[in-house]
Amino acid sequence: LSSTRDPDSGGRPARAGEFQLIERYMAPLAAPRDGEDGGGDAFGLHNDAAVLPPLAPDERLVVTVDTLIQGRHFLDCPAETVGRKALRVNLSDLAAMGARPLGYLLASAWPQDIEEAWIADFCRGLAADQETFGVTLFGGDTTATSGPMTLSLTAFGKLNGATALDRGSVRPGDDIYVSGTLGDAYLGLRALCGELDGLAPAARDTLVRRYRLPEPRLALGQALLDEGLARSALDVSDGLAADLGHLLEASGVAAEIELAALPLGDAARQALTLLAEPPEVVLGGGDDYELLFAAAPGQRAAIAALAERLGLAITRIGRAGAGSGLVVRDAAGREVFLQHRGWTHF
């Protein structure tokens, strides 16, 4: 893990004690996992680069990167959850490929006046998630910035075989499914922005937690791929309408989804009632990090059994067809107009 200078700081050390901070807080994250000798080594972050463990001949390496910027991708989050969210959104991308996580690189630009206690909490959160998801820090880069905190995390995973779940493999007639519940994180963000002050505290906590700590659906992605239940998946990060649009476009198919089928949790329903907004607003909200996938109708029983086994809701929300575009229908079969179709970055 190296340290670089911010050109804005005129070549001065980006931050006093940065090497001690790396040694104290980052190096422990790079320790080999207990009882595992995978044949790779981060060398306690003392070398210029890490050596990754070898893969079996039929395995494939999967790599993904995501950048989180304070105020844009995380807002009003305790330090302990910030690194975890950066890790989890990347693990969610691995889940969408059907991959198993191995480890990650972390490039961080911290504000120059950041307190050591913040970094300690940030790394404590990462350590907890490393344990939960069985990953380790391979290395990275740390610098200081005069701009907002920026975290870029690159996650590595592996596939058991040569194929991954793919966005371009939906076929007309496939069922469309989504895991978990939708809209919680989006409504949690709105709660943090002060829009849901009348909400019961327990419901508010549920929504805010979902915003701060998404659940990467790794076991689901791996099972869909390994058991041949689905060919096509992605994780919902920009909002279901936008992300399903990406899936349909990549596959050259159309889809219809039923508004009444969308899985909404109790907290989200309470929030929507309080806001006096219709359920379709969750289709335009981001940060769900649930898996959206398509499967042949012949797989319905196997997918129901998988949901049972994983203890995870998997809801059939619609169906793919020939043509292009997404149509959302209400209970009476009328087309629902979507005012916001999701998060766009520019």
Tell me which residues touch Mg ion (CB under 5 A).
Answer: 93, 235
**How near is the Cβ of 244 to Mg ion at its closest, in Å?**
13
Which lies closer to Mg ion via its Cβ, residue 6 or residue 93?
93
Is the separation of the CB atoms in 170 and 253 below 8 Å?
Answer: yes
Which lies closer to Mg ion via its Cβ, residue 165 or residue 191?
165
Which lies closer to Mg ion via its Cβ, residue 6 or residue 290?
290
**How near is the Cβ of 320 to Mg ion at its closest, in Å?**
19
**How near is the Cβ of 236 to Mg ion at its closest, in Å?**
8
**How near is the Cβ of 173 to Mg ion at its closest, in Å?**
25
The rounded distance, in Å, linking the Cα atoms of 308 and 181 is 16
Which lies closer to Mg ion via its Cβ, residue 121 or residue 235?
235
Is the separation of the CB atoms in 262 and 331 below 8 Å?
Answer: no
Token digits of residue 223: 């099972």
Which lies closer to Mg ion via its Cβ, residue 207 or residue 233?
233
Which lies closer to Mg ion via its Cβ, residue 139 or residue 239?
239
Report the side by side order of strands in the sheet with 254-258. 232-235, 291-295, 175-179, 314-321, 254-258, 325-329
Strand, helix or coil at 87? helix
**How near is the Cβ of 84 to Mg ion at its closest, in Å?**
17
Strand, helix or coil at 292? strand
Which lies closer to Mg ion via its Cβ, residue 25 or residue 289?
289
Which lies closer to Mg ion via its Cβ, residue 154 or residue 270?
154
Query: What pairs with residue 242 in β-bridges?
Result: none
DSSP string, 144-181: EESSS-EEEEEEEEEESSS----TT---TT-EEEEES-
**How near is the Cβ of 243 to Mg ion at its closest, in Å?**
8
Is the separation of the CB atoms in 237 and 287 below 8 Å?
Answer: yes
Number of Cβ within a 10 Å radius of residue 117? 9
The rounded distance, in Å, linking the Cα atoms of 44 and 35 is 17
- Give the count of alpha carbons within 13 A of 259, CB side only: 18
**How near is the Cβ of 73 to Mg ion at its closest, in Å?**
13
Q: How far is CA 211 from CA 26, 110, 174, 282, in A?
A: 25, 22, 30, 13
**How near is the Cβ of 93 to Mg ion at its closest, in Å?**
4
Angle between helices 218-226 and 300-310 (to 10 degrees): 150
The rounded distance, in Å, linking the Cα atoms of 87 and 107 is 12
**How near is the Cβ of 285 to Mg ion at its closest, in Å?**
16
Which lies closer to Mg ion via its Cβ, residue 6 or residue 66?
66
Query: What ranges in the chain are assigned the alpha helix state H?
Result: 18-21, 79-97, 116-133, 184-192, 201-212, 218-226, 240-251, 266-275, 300-310
